[in-house]
Amino acid sequence: MTSKERAALRGQANGLDALFQVGKGGVTDAVIAQTDDALRAKELIKLKVLTETCPETTREAADKLAAATGADVVQVIGGVMVLYRYSEELHNEKKPEKKRPATKKQARKMGYKVKPVRKFRKDNDR
C-alpha cells in the first residue's frame, strides 16, 4: 500500500466510529473472527483497544489482527486502530449507473434523440 493510498484511507476513516473493542483478553480467536466478518462487510474498519486492561499495545494488537485477517494496518493512534482489506465482493456489487446527460449537446453525443430547441419570439418581434 502506498503512502497516498494510506492517506486517502485515513481521511475516509476519520468519520468512522469504532465497531468494537479489544479488551482484557487481548487478541483472541473471537476477536479475529469478528474482525474478519467486519472486514468482509466493510473494507475499512476502526477498532478501539482498552489500553489499561489489554495485555498488548495497540500496535501489537493491530499487527496481530492484520496478520490473522490478511488486512493492512492503516493507522494506529493512541488506543485506536484502523484496518483495511480490499473486498472483491463489495466492488463487484456496486455497478455504476448510467449518468443522465446534463445538456442537450451531451445527450446527442451519447446517442439520445433530442427534440429541437423552440425559439420563442419576444413581444417586440410580432
What CATH architecture is 3-89?
2-Layer Sandwich (3.30)
Q: Is the pLDDT of residue 126 over 60?
A: no
pLDDT in tens, 81-124: 999 999 888 777 666 667 777 787 888 888 887 777 677 666 66
For the chain, give the longest Cα–Cα distance: 88
Q: Give the pLDDT score at 95.
A: 64
Contact status, residue 58 vs residue 26, Cβ threshold 8 Å: no
Grid coordinates of 72: 493492512
Give one DSSP letter per residue of 58-114, joined into a string: HHHHHHHHHHHHT-EEEEEETTEEEEE---HHHHHH--PPPPPPSSHHHHHHHT---
Per-residue pLDDT band at 8 (split at 50, 70, 90) = very high
pLDDT at 94: 61
Q: Measure the N-to-C terminal CA separation of the chain; round to a whole number of Å.
A: 69
Q: What is the pTM of this model?
A: 0.70
H/E stretch holding 49 reads strand 44-49
Distances (CA, A) of 9 to 49, 70, 81: 20, 17, 12
| Cell representation of residue 18 | 469504532
pLDDT at residue 124, as a whole number: 61
Is residue 12 a contact partner of residue 44, using CB atoms and an 8 Å limit? yes
With a cut of 80, say whether residue 31 has pLDDT above it.
yes
Q: What is the pLDDT of residues 40-62, one digit of tens each?
A: 999 999 999 999 999 999 999 99
Domain boundaries of the chain, sorted by first residue: 3-89
